[in-house]
Amino acid sequence: SIEPQDGAVSDLVPGVTPVSKPVPDMLEPAPGEPGHNLPKPGPAGQLARNIYAAAVPAVPATNARVGILLDGYGLSEEMSLNAARTLPAMVSFAVSTYAPARPALSEVARKRGHEVFLSLPMQPSTAPMDDEGPRALGYDHSETVDRDNLRWALSRFDGYVGVTNAFSGLDGDAYAQSPDFQMVSRELNQRGLLYLNATPTAQRLGPAPGGAAAMTLDTAADAAGTPGQVHHLVPLAKPTDPAIAL
């Protein structure tokens, strides 16, 4: 169960600023998807990339800032709850469009101050050996099919700050680095969303603002090796541009 067994709500933590709840005026019904919504700018120009951004901790101007995006949030309820409730709020989560408990787990993350991204399934360069599922973009689809799959994905849950190509250990690089991705980036920008490119050294295409991962952490390493990997991330940060690890 998402809620504690005694029924008490324990996910609001003193000293941690929750991320904003989904704003009804920044949602529109998804065509053909009853009960699902698409993000849109608010009536006063509010944008999801600002409204659902996590609080930025104060650090000295001379200090490097780094960020970590954890992929696969929502695929295991137990592991996801443990991550949301034990990791620092500065760690962001990427939620799969196929995750079974997306809204409830995203709500726990929001209350704990974690920024949430949507993992968009796209064709990887390793296809057909690797497949990102029945709603993935690419695979020689027409633009109409890709747009339909994009809007299906964007309507899976509410209140996310942006989209990433990080998807269960893959990065959809074949599609994300193709000219076809321009359509995706335009729609993300029109809907007020960020795009985080999870492919280190790859160019981020299109008008949607955002960032790019500087490195991918070795998920096969044990917990003792993680600080050493993060240590390598720090020199990649610039005074006005944090370094992001996936």
In this predicted structure, which of 31-45, 120-134, 228-242 has the lowest mean pLDDT?
A: 228-242
Residue 95 reports pLDDT greater than 60: yes
Q: Is 28 helix (H, G, I), strand (E, B) or coil?
A: strand
Select from 9, 133, 116 the least CA-distant residue to 71.
116
User: Which of the listed ranges 11-15, 73-77, 126-130, 161-165 does the model predict with the highest average pLDDT?
Assistant: 161-165
Residue 60 reports pLDDT greater than 80: yes
Q: Give residue-wise pLDDT tens across range 102-128.
A: 889 999 999 999 999 999 999 988 888
Q: What is the DSSP letter of 21?
A: P
- Given a contact cutoff of 8 angstroms between Cβ atoms, the answer to whether 122 and 177 are in contact is no
Residue 86 reports pLDDT greater than 70: yes
Residue 2 reports pLDDT greater than 70: no
Alpha-carbon separation of residue 24 from 46, 111, 114, 157 (angstroms): 12, 18, 20, 13
Pairwise CA distance, residues 199 & 170, whole Å: 9
In this predicted structure, which of 59-63, 102-106, 196-200 has the lowest mean pLDDT?
A: 59-63
Q: How many CA atoms lie within 13 A of 209 on its CB side?
A: 8
Pairwise CA distance, residues 154 & 161, whole Å: 11
Name the pLDDT band for 4 (thresholds 50, 70, 90): very low
Average predicted confidence (pLDDT) for the chain: 89
9 exposure class (CB count in 10 Å sphere: 0-12, 13-18, 19+): exposed
Tell me, what amino acid is at 70? L
Tell me, what amino acid is at 44? A
In this predicted structure, which of 8-22, 110-124, 203-217 has the lowest mean pLDDT?
A: 8-22
Name the pLDDT band for 5 (thresholds 50, 70, 90): very low
Predicted TM-score of the model (pTM): 0.91
Q: If you count them, how many residues does the chain have?
A: 246
Q: What is the DSSP letter of 95?
A: E
Q: What is the DSSP letter of 220?
A: T
Select from 169, 167, 179, 196 the least CA-distant residue to 138.
179
Alpha-carbon separation of residue 170 from 80, 146, 201, 204, 246 (angstroms): 19, 19, 15, 16, 11
